[in-house]
Amino acid sequence: MTRAQQTLSIGLLVASLYTVCFLGLLPFPTKVQEDIIPYLPFWALISFGAYLLFKLGWGVLTFNDCPEAHEELKQQIEQARKELRKKGVTVD
């Protein structure tokens, strides 16, 4: 099973469970049925957004510098400058 199929299967399972709960096919107390279940998709969306913001912040916080890549980039820039100077282009 591919990851796309697995994600689609889990999404359909969650959607069908929510539909069953929302339509009242499973008996829940009235308070839960009226005050909690209708807002579950909004809560899930907000939670997912908060999770993604956390992951983004954590990635920025733990971003690793790459000194080797920096040196390689500096060498490539210098090489490009030399080639452009040979062709008569002023570079500075």
Q: What is the mean pLDDT of residues 61-80?
A: 88
Gap between the Cα atoms of 75 and 11, Å rounded: 49
- Of 63, 79, 59, nearest to 71 by C-alpha is 79
pTM for this model (two decimals): 0.59
Separation CA 77–CA 20 (nearest Å): 61
pLDDT tens readout for residues 13-60: 999 999 999 999 999 999 999 999 999 999 999 999 999 999 999 988
Q: What's the pLDDT band for 69 if we cut at 50, 70, 90? A: confident
Read off the tokens for 47.
Answer: 């939670």
